[in-house]
Amino acid sequence: MESHRPASDNRVGWLCSYTPMEIPLALGLLPTRMSGQGRISGATDPRIYHLLCPYVRSVFKAAAQLRPERVVFARCCDAMVRLHDLWKVCFGGKVHFLDLPKISSPEAVSYFANVLRGWAKELRDGAEPEEEELWDSITEMNRVRAFFRGLFSEVARRALPYSWVRERVRLWLEYPTEGTLKAIEEERQALHFDGKMGKGPGVILSSTMLDQGEIVSLIEEAGLVVVGDDECLGERHFHMDVEEGGDPFEALAHRYLQRWPCPRMKGVGRRLEELERILEERGAAGVVIVYLKFCDQSSFDIPLIQEKFRKKGVPLLLLENDYTSSALGQMRTRLEAFREILHEGF
C-alpha cells in the first residue's frame, strides 16, 4: 500500500463499514474514516435535528472544521441520507453516494457491483480503473483483514485488551497506510502484556458505531473482559475476505454483502447466529449492548436479541450511548453491578 500513498489532500472520507476501502486505495486515494471525534460538544447545530443519530451529528459538527476533499456516503439509514443531503448544501466538495442494498441475494450482489463500478469511475473522473490495480488493492486489504482478525483472536484468548485493539483499528481506519500497519505490528511485538485483564467475567460487546473509547474503558475498569464484539468497526468490519478471481467489482460486492451483517441489513437471524457463535466459542458470561440513541434499525433488533439470550439464560446489559458524557457515571454503576451479577455466576 505504500506505493499508493497519496498526498494528504487526496483523502476520501467514509462513514459506513460497507464502503469498500479497496476502491479508493486502488486509485491512489486515501480512504479515511470520519469519526466525528466521538463526542457531540458545544451548541447544537440549528441545521441538524437534535433527535437525529448522534454519530451523524458528531460527524457533521466535526466536519465544519476539518473535512476531506471527497466524501462517500452509503444508503445505510435515513440519518445518513440526510447527512449526505446536508453535506452537499453546507460543505460541497466531491460528494459520492453508494446505493447499498439491504439484502445479499445474487441480484443484490450484481446491483451493488454496478454501484461500485460507477463509484470507481466517479473517483477517476469518468475513466475505468485498471483491474490489476483493483486486485492489488484487494489482495492488500485481505492481508490487512487477516492481520486485524489475528488481533481480535488474541482478544478472544484474553491475550490482548480489547481497548488496545479497538484503538489501533481506529488509528488504521483514519490513516490506512502500510506505515500505520507496520507501526501497529511493531507495537504489538514490543508489547509485553501483564495479563491483568485475564480474571474478570468475559463479555461480548454489541453495538453499532462506538467511537467513544471511554465507554470501552468503563467496561474494562468495571472488571469485565471484552472477549469479542459485534460492532460496525470491530470484528464485523474484518470478517471474510474478498475471493480473488473473476470480476473485481462482483467479488467486492459479494464480500461486502455476504459478511457478518450489521443491523441495517434485512433480518436479525444471521447476526444473532454470529453473536451466539462467539458467545459460546469464547465462553463469555454475558452480553453488553451499547445502543446508539435514535438508531431505529439497531433498536428494533434489541428486543429480539434480549429475548434470545433471556431464553438461553445469558445476562444482558443494555446501555444507551448519545455521544455525550452525561451518563457515564450511571453507566459505570450499571457495569459494576453487572460484573457482580456475572461474578456470582447468574
Partner 1 sequence: MRVVGLDVGSRSVKLVVMDECGRIVDVRLADTTFDPSKQCLALIEGLKVDRIQATGYGRHLMGKILQASVVPEILAHARAVHHMFPNAKGVLDIGGQDTKCIALGDGGRVIKFEMNDRCAAGTGKFLEIMAGAFGMGIEKFGAFALEADEASNISSMCTVFAESEATSLMARGERPSRIALGLHVAVARRALSMVRRVSPAMPIAFTGGVALNPCMRKLLAEELEDQILIPSHPQLMGAIGAALLLLDKIASGERGADMCSGRGAEERGSRA
Positions in the binding site for partner 1 (CB under 8 A): 320, 322, 326-327, 329-334, 336-337, 340-341, 344, 346
Exposed, middle or buried, 6 (CB in 10 Å: 0-12/13-18/19+)?
Answer: middle
Instruction: For residue 224, give Cα distances in angstroms to 98, 163, 283, 297.
Output: 38, 12, 13, 27
DSSP string, 247-287: -HHHHHHHHHHHSS--TTSS-SHHHHHHHHHHHHHTT--EE
Q: How far is the CB of 52 from partner 1 (least distance, A)?
A: 17
- Closer to partner 1 by Cβ: residue 165 or 342: 342
Residue 89's φ and ψ, nearest 5 degrees, are -75, -45
- Closer to partner 1 by Cβ: residue 239 or 334: 334
Q: How far is the CB of 308 from partner 1 (least distance, A)?
A: 16
- Closer to partner 1 by Cβ: residue 1 or 218: 218
- Closer to partner 1 by Cβ: residue 136 or 320: 320
The answer to whether the Cα torsion of 296, 298, 302, 304 is positive or negative is positive
- Closer to partner 1 by Cβ: residue 91 or 346: 346
- Closer to partner 1 by Cβ: residue 6 or 223: 223
Query: Which amino acid, 120?
Result: A
Q: How far is the CB of 268 from partner 1 (least distance, A)?
A: 21
Q: How far is the CB of 290 from partner 1 (least distance, A)?
A: 13
Round to whole Å and give the CA distance between 33 and 11: 10
**Do 174 and 34 meet the contact criterion of CB atoms below 8 Å apart?**
no
Q: How far is the CB of 27 from partner 1 (least distance, A)?
A: 44
- Closer to partner 1 by Cβ: residue 180 or 306: 306
* β pairing state of 30-33 and 70-74: unpaired
* β pairing state of 202-207 and 286-292: parallel
Q: How far is the CB of 332 from partner 1 (least distance, A)?
A: 8
Q: Could you tell me how many helices (H) and strands (E) the chain has, helices first?
A: 12, 8
Exposed, middle or buried, 248 (CB in 10 Å: 0-12/13-18/19+)?
Answer: buried
- Closer to partner 1 by Cβ: residue 41 or 105: 41
Round to whole Å and give the CA distance between 309 and 278: 13
Q: What SS3 class is residue 218?
A: helix
CB count in 10 Å sphere of residue 127: 10
Q: How far is the CB of 306 from partner 1 (least distance, A)?
A: 11
Q: How far is the CB of 328 from partner 1 (least distance, A)?
A: 10
Q: How far is the CB of 54 from partner 1 (least distance, A)?
A: 13
Query: Which amino acid, 8?
Result: S
Q: How far is the CB of 334 from partner 1 (least distance, A)?
A: 6
CB count in 10 Å sphere of residue 150: 14
- Closer to partner 1 by Cβ: residue 214 or 322: 322
- Closer to partner 1 by Cβ: residue 51 or 337: 337
Round to whole Å and give the CA distance between 68 and 106: 34
